[in-house]
Structure 1
Amino acid sequence: MDLNTSTLMLIFFIGLFLISFWKIYAFLPNEQLPDDDNTPQAKEEITKVILKVIQKNRPDISLNELFEKVKRDEDFDEKHFWRFNPNKLHHLLEYYYAKNPDTQSIEEVHKKLNS
């Protein structure tokens, strides 16, 4: 069996390609991390805490005050939501506004929850 140079190169290329593919696959996350806060369940859990804090406070609360009060709430799991920041709060509120078109601000959410 006579193998020319191009055949050997093709065999080595395919072999190294398969090894490279396996190495990339080995580093991709295969299971959900215990502190993953981007799942629908985690978003729902943190949204409940946010809504509870909005309901308990005055309607003209600022985003930064809301953030601090959410972080201090007894239902806030600091180990699970360790990545929680004002930007994440803003995105969660925007997501809530999109799901509830009759609310577009914290004041409207407060009015809706207390009515």
Structure 2
Amino acid sequence: MKEHIPSLMMAGFILFLVLSLWKVYKFLPNKQLEDDDNTIESIEQLTCIMLAVIKNYDTPPTHNELFIAITEHNDFDKEHFWRFNQNKLNNLLLKYYAKNNLTSIDDIHNKLSQ
């Protein structure tokens, strides 16, 4: 019987290791959430809304005016973008500035007005 104990202990260890790894796998996110607003498509949609709003202004809007106008835009889905706030707008603007070599909302407005 003593020679079977190490084999039984190894089998039990492997069984519990497999069970533990399976439990960890089940808790990892496997699919994208429906209201995930950090996807490439969502960011592109917000960018299009932002550009449309800036283009509609005669003079460049302030940061707060831009935020309010984006949230009131017809294409803005409040359920999908429920996490949209001033900080997300800052990040969206910074990404757009870096991508297009611009530095401010005024630059965006001037570029869109041309």
- TM-score after normalising by structure 2: 0.87
Q: Aligned residue for 1:114?
A: 113
Deviation at 1:73, TM superposition (A): 0.9
Q: Which has the larger displacement, 15-24 or 87-96?
A: 15-24
Q: Percent identity?
A: 48
Q: Aligned residue for 2:73?
A: 73
The whole-number CA distance in structure 1 between the counterparts of 2:64 and 2:4 is 70
3-state SS of 1:84 partner: coil
Deviation at 1:31, TM superposition (A): 1.6
Q: Which ranges of structure 1 fall in alignment gaps of 5 or more residues? A: none
Deviation at 1:20, TM superposition (A): 1.4
Q: Aligned residue for 1:97?
A: 97
Count of paired positions:
112
RMSD in angstroms over aligned alpha carbons?
A: 1.7
The whole-number CA distance in structure 1 between the counterparts of 2:13 and 2:68 is 55
Deviation at 1:14, TM superposition (A): 2.5
Q: Aligned residue for 1:84?
A: 84
Moved over 4 A (4+): none
Residue identity opposite 1:84 in structure 2:
F
Q: Which ranges of structure 2 fall in alignment gaps of 5 or more residues? A: none
Q: Aligned residue for 1:24?
A: 24
Residue identity opposite 1:93 in structure 2:
L
The whole-number CA distance in structure 1 between the counterparts of 2:71 and 2:109 is 19
Deviation at 1:15, TM superposition (A): 2.0
